[in-house]
Structure 1
Amino acid sequence: MLKVVGIVGSPRVKSNTEYYTQFTLNELEKHGIQTELITLRDKKIHHCTGCYGCIEAKKCTLPKDDFDEVFNKMLEADGILIGSPVYNSSSTALVKALLDRAGFLGRWINNDMKDKSENYQWKGTAFSGKVAAPITVARRAGQNFTFAELLLWMTVNDLMVIGSHYWNVGVAGKGGAVDAHEDLEGESIMQHLAENMAHVIKQLKK
C-alpha cells in the first residue's frame, strides 16, 4: 500500500497548518493513497547537538525521545508532506529540530565519513527515491523564505519535490484566527498538489 505522511510543525491545536496538511492528505486518499497525520506539538524532539555519533552508530545517539518514532514513519512512507506556519520568516523550532536530525542521520545511514584527503561518492540518503512537498502558512508575509527553507532540506536530502499550479502556501490566521477553510484558492492548490503527488508516487512504484 502506497503511503504519505503529513508532518505538522505548528505548536497550536487544530491549527491552520494542520488544516491544509490534513486537507491534502484527504485528497491523496481519494487517489488510493494511505495517509497518516503526525503533529509535532505533542512530541518531544531534542535539537541536534552535532555530536557525530550517528556516523558510526547509524542511528541517533541522543537520549531517547520521540525522534525515532517520527523518523521511522518518514522512512516507511513513499511521500512526505512537511507543513509549517511562518515564524519570523522561518519554520518553527519543532520542524527545525526534526529536520536537522533527520537530515544528518539520513545521510550517514548510507555513507561513511571520509578522510579530508578523500572525495565523497555519495550512495544517496535514507530518503532517496521518496517524494516530498512543503506546505507553509502565513497571515501575510514570510512565505517565500520558509518555503525555500523546506525545499532546500528536501533537495539536499535527495527527495523529489512535488509542486502545484502555485506554491503550496496557505493564507490564514489574521488576528490569530483559525480560518484556513476560508482560503478557497489555498484549498485548490493543495488539491492539485495531492493529484501531482499521487501521480508521481504511482509512476515511481510501477
Structure 2
Amino acid sequence: MKVTAICGSAHKDGNTETIMKLVLRELQAQQIETELIPLCDLEIQPCRGCFACRGKGQCTAIRDDFGGCFERMVSAQGILLGSPVYSADISAKMKAFLERAGVVAACNPGLLKYKVCASVAAVRRGGGLTTVDTMNHFFLNKETVLVGSTYWNMVYGKESGEVLQDEEGIKNMKNLGENMAWVLKRLF
C-alpha cells in the first residue's frame, strides 16, 4: 500500500511540508509506504482545456513535469494534498496541478476511484478552510474516499517551523494520518 503526498508550497521544507510529514509519519508507523512530491521542484503549467487527454489517461498536450507526478498519484492507493494559503486559497502550483489532474481524471473515468484521500493547509491567519475545501472538492467529484480528522485539517504558523507550536493542529495531523491508515487497511 502506498500514499503519494503532493505539496503545493513554493518553499522546500516549509510549514506545509512539515505538517504533511506529520501525517506521513503516522502512515509509516502503520507500515504504509509513503512518498512526498514537492511541486516547488517541478514545472507544472495550467490546463489548456484541449481535452487531448481523453481516453489516454494522461495529459499529452503539454510537456512538463505534470505527467510523472500524476502517474505516481494514480498508482498509489492513497493521496494527500497540501497547500499553504496564498490569497485565501491554494497556491498557483497546486491550482495548475489540480486543474490538469481534474481534466485528465474526468476524461478518463475511474482513474482515482476509491483512492483514500485527505488534504491539509498551512495557514498564517485566514483562508485555511477555503484552501482545504478547494482540495477536498477535487477529491469529492473524482469518486475518492475522503478522510477527515477531529477538526479542520489546517495548522497555524507564519515563519518556517512555526506550525509546530500549534499543538491542536499537530494533534489533528497525527489523527488524520491514523484515520487514513485505518481506512486504507480496510479497503486494501
Q: TM-score range by the shorter chain?
A: over 0.9
Specify the SS of the correspondent of 2:80: strand
Larger radius of gyration: 1
Q: Which residue of 2 aligns with 1:198?
A: 181
* Rounded Cα–Cα distance in structure 1 between residues aligned with 2:130 and 2:100: 21
How far off its partner does 1:178 sit? 3.4
* Rounded Cα–Cα distance in structure 1 between residues aligned with 2:164 and 2:38: 19
> Which amino acid in the other structure matches residue 146 of structure 1?
T
Deviates more, 1:11-20 or 1:50-59: 50-59
How far off its partner does 1:190 sit? 0.7
> Which amino acid in the other structure matches residue 171 of structure 1?
Y
Q: Which residue of 2 aligns with 1:36?
A: 35
Equivalences for residues 1-206 of structure 1 within 5 A: 2-110=1-109, 125-173=110-158, 176-205=159-188
Deviations 1:123-150 (A, max 9, x none): xx31001011010111111111111111
Deviations 1:81-115 (A, max 9, x none): 100000111100100111111111112123xxxxx
TM-score by length of 2: 0.96
TM-score by length of 1: 0.88
Q: How many residues align?
A: 188
- Report the identity percentage: 37
**Poorly superposed stretches of 4+, deviation over 2 Å:** 56-59
